[in-house]
């Protein structure tokens, strides 16, 4: 009996000690928003994987902020690439009092969501939304760690005019904030470089049949087509270009089409070899920690890598770094430290302009060789 009593006292003391240590652990929620349903779910899942990987690594570091051991948790939301769903997800994260947000993926969801985050005082960092309008309001809660469309669209137009000496281009966009934005920059830069814009056509981010607009474009005999949009449309468009005999026409696009998925969606179309696309940042091989990071990612999430997961990983680490430097998880206290970041990430060393844009953004052009995405520069 005495032995049992001793054991139960010991168990009670252990339980109390456990409760005390549990009370010393502060849970800090980081939000993540991207489309994890619908046609763009492969991008969204990749983004979420990057953030999740960072959270798991942070939780091995025994981080102490404000005298408490920190346990980070990811609150992941799906915006289905829909602006209304995006603002609803943003409000949900505000109501949950997350300490910061990584996302969104699409400019069309990120721009309206940025106002929601600003109104509730939570910083958000995107490594994917590229429309320049995102940072125009000057919110101190909005940060981008990737080159914007001014860099992407202009870089592609310079390459078309200067390197390839192309004269005539047709432009298609999907009417989203992203597609329209990157197409407009390409169009203005191409025209300034002396290229002739022979046709402009429009589609949607849900369309799969482009025969009518491609037939209209074919009549104008362009050297190239620029598409402002994402890979669920670019893949079928490349197949239909081949069917219409547009096999010698170059096909330009921004980071929305610059995926390994577009090669699968093109389903063997020879026109894939005519694709020239641009991404913000260096190629993985040239990123400071790119190759080692990619090996870890592939071991954890085989065959899921798309484009932006290194950026969502860095964005998550960046938020934690600002909290550590401020010794606070309160956004009001750590936002000034976020603004002053000089963070050595996997993608680059991250610092910000006063408007929240990345300092010294790089871009990389890619082509597809034997169905594989290959860096040009």
Average predicted confidence (pLDDT) for the chain? 94
CA distance 283 to 291: 10
CA distance 7 to 126: 53
Indicate the pairing of strand 363-369 with strand 372-375.
antiparallel
- pTM recorded for the entire structure: 0.86
Say yes or no to pLDDT of 219 above 80: yes
CA distance 48 to 307: 12
pLDDT number for residue 377: 84
Q: Specify the DSSP element, H or E, that contains 56.
A: helix 41-58
pLDDT number for residue 335: 98
Share of the chain above pLDDT 90, in %: 93
**Region(s) of the chain under CATH 3.40.50.2300:** 10-146+286-361, 150-280
Indicate the pairing of strand 124-126 with strand 64-65.
unpaired
Write the DSSP assignment of 112-165 as a string of letters. HHHHHHHHHT--EEESS---GGGGTT--TTEEE-S--HHHHHHHHHHIIIIIS-
Least confident span in 2-6, 37-41, 168-172: 2-6
Least confident span in 6-15, 105-114, 180-189, 230-239: 6-15
Is 270:248 a contact under the CB 8 Å cutoff? no
Say yes or no to pLDDT of 4 above 50: no
**What pLDDT digit, counting tens, does each position of 20-43 carry?**
354 589 999 999 999 999 999 999
pLDDT number for residue 7: 44
Say yes or no to pLDDT of 109 above 70: yes
**What pLDDT digit, counting tens, does each position of 66-85 carry?**
999 999 999 999 999 999 99
Say yes or no to pLDDT of 11 above 50: no
Q: Which CATH code is given to the segment(s) 10-146+286-361?
A: 3.40.50.2300
Pick the CATH number of 150-280 from 3.40.50.12780, 1.10.10.10, 3.30.450.190, 3.40.50.2300: 3.40.50.2300
Mean pLDDT along residues 165-172 = 98
pLDDT number for residue 23: 52
């Amino acid at each position: 009996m005495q032995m049992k009593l001793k054991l139960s006292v010991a168990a009670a003391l252990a339980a109390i000690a456990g409760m005390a240590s549990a009370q010393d652990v502060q849970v800090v929620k980081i939000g993540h928003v991207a489309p994890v349903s619908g046609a763009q779910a492969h991008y969204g899942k990749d983004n979420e994987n990057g953030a999740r990987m960072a959270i798991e690594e942070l939780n091995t570091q025994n981080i102490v902020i404000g005298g408490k051991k920190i346990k980070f948790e990811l609150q992941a939301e799906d915006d289905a690439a829909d602006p209304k769903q995006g603002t609803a997800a943003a409000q949900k994260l505000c109501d949950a009092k997350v300490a910061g947000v990584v996302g969104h993926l699409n400019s069309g969801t990120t721009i309206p969501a940025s106002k929601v985050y600003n109104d509730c005082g939570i910083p958000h960092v995107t490594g994917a939304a590229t429309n320049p309008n995102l940072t125009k309001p000057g919110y101190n809660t909005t940060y981008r760690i990737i080159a914007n469309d001014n860099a992407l669209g202009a870089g592609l137009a310079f390459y078309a005019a200067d390197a390839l000496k192309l004269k005539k281009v047709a432009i298609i966009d999907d009417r989203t904030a992203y597609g329209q934005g990157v197409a407009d920059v390409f169009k203005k830069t191409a025209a300034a470089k002396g290229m002739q814009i022979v046709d402009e056509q429009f589609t949607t981010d849900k369309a799969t049949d482009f025969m009518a607009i491609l037939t209209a474009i074919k009549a104008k005999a362009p050297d190239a087509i620029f598409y402002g949009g994402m890979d669920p449309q670019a893949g079928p468009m490349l197949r239909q270009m081949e069917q219409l005999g547009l096999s010698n026409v170059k096909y330009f696009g921004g980071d929305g089409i610059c995926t390994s998925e577009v090669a699968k969606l093109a389903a063997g179309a020879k026109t894939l070899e005519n694709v020239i696309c641009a991404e913000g940042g260096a190629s993985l091989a040239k990123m400071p920690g790119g190759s080692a990071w990619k090996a870890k990612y592939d071991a954890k999430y085989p065959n899921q890598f798309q484009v932006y997961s290194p950026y969502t990983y860095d964005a998550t680490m960046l938020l934690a770094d600002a909290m550590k430097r401020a010794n606070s998880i309160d956004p009001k206290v750590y936002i000034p430290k976020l603004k002053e970041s000089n963070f050595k990430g996997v993608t680059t060393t991250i610092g910000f302009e006063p408007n929240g844009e990345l300092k010294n953004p790089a871009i990389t052009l890619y082509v597809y060789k034997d169905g594989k995405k290959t860096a040009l520069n």
